[in-house]
């Protein structure tokens, strides 16, 4: 039902899948892509978010801000999708994610 992915196998199959994923994760292309992705999010979202909070003299939950920043980066790097979770006005996906987390 769940397939034979890296999280569902053991033994030689798991070892083989980990070797492949480690190669991909450590490739210079992925590292460069991650660098560009994170840098873009810092300059386009994180810094403006923090400047806006400062300008409005708003109190922010910095742990929540960094969690949202991390979620945006993971989604972009792993799935090629940017949920824009760090925007002050939460997009529909981000709002649904927040609602789901509250239910857990």
pLDDT tens-digit profile of 68-102? 899 899 888 888 888 888 887 767 777 787 788 88
Lowest mean pLDDT among 17-21, 61-65, 68-72, 91-95: 17-21
Distance (Å, whole) CA 5 – CA 17? 8
How many Cβ atoms from other residues are within 10 Å of residue 73's Cβ? 20
Angle in degrees, CA 58, 61, 67, rounded to 5: 130
Q: Which residue has the higher pLDDT, 61 or 78?
A: 61
Please state the length of the chain. Answer: 104
How is residue 91 annotated by DSSP? Answer: -
Does the pLDDT value for residue 16 go beyond 50? yes
Residues 42, 54: Cα–Cα separation, whole Å: 16
Collapsing DSSP to helix, strand or coil, 83 comes out as coil
- pTM as predicted: 0.65
If residue 64 lies in a helix (H) or strand (E), which one and from where to where? helix 62-79
* Closest residue by Cα to residue 82 from 66, 95, 93: 93
Read off the tokens for 21.
């994923």
């Amino acid at each position: 039902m769940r397939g034979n992915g890296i999280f569902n196998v053991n033994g030689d199959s798991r070892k083989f899948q980990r070797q492949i994923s480690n190669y991909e994760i450590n490739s210079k292309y992925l590292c460069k892509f991650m660098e560009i992705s994170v840098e873009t999010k810092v300059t386009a979202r994180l810094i403006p978010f923090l400047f806006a909070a400062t300008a409005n003299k708003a109190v922010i939950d910095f742990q929540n801000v960094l969690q949202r920043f991390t979620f945006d980066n993971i989604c972009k790097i792993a799935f090629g999708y940017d949920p824009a979770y760090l925007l002050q006005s939460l997009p529909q996906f981000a709002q649904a994610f927040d609602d789901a987390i509250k239910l857990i």
